[in-house]
Amino acid sequence: MKLKLTSLLMALGLLTNAAFAGNSAKIGYASDFFYRGEQKALESVQSAVDLETALLGLDAKLHACTNQSIDEGVDSYRFAAGLGTSVAEGLLSVYGGFNHFEDVAGEALSEIEISLSVEALGSPTVSAYKDTSDDLYTFEGSLSHSFDLSFADLGLRGSIGNTDVTESNSRTYYSVGSELTRQVGAGVDIGLSVDLVDADDIEREFVFGTTLAFSF
């Protein structure tokens, strides 16, 4: 099951190369996996595919990713699809779509998402999610910036969010991190990352990761 999910994502990226532009696929390792401040797994293999194309004058985007536990934890996947566009003479980017997260333990969450990004230093972004089945909401804000070093690219990122666990209980979570990426071939990059994750009901945790990414 684990290998099938990873292989499916990689194949999806290759098969849609002719129809989509700005495609990428990656596979990597993470020392832990957190989703909205909740630890879902310890050591894991992660894979992801991102596809983008023009559709009716808008930017159509597809995202699919899996987290497959090596140690303790549950396997999970996430799928997102939506449409985006730029407004205010390119100063703002607006995105609306569908987001689905599910794990093998039976937890499933389907949401409607709306995001707004400012084309400025730090690429500030705010996102709101509404559960399609219950009156549950998630709100997130993030910043990110990339520096071009002589030998690699250094990306810095930070985010804060609040998610409804139930209609009467919510969790606030935070993360700050960095990733060093270096191109090792045509459309091939390797990356090393470290993130500090914190939430209301967990102790601060460092998450280390490595990735191999392909652009096509």
Q: What range does the domain containing 34 cover?
A: 2-215
pLDDT digits (tens, 9 = 90+) for 44-77: 999 999 999 999 999 999 999 999 999 889 999 9
What CATH number is given to the structural domain containing 172? 2.40.160.40
The span from the CA of 195 to the CA of 189, in Å, is 19
Please say if the pLDDT value at position 19 is more than 90: no
DSSP 73: B
Number of domains in the chain: 1
Could you give the count of Cα atoms lying within 13 Å of 117 in the half-sphere of its Cβ? 16
Global pTM? 0.87
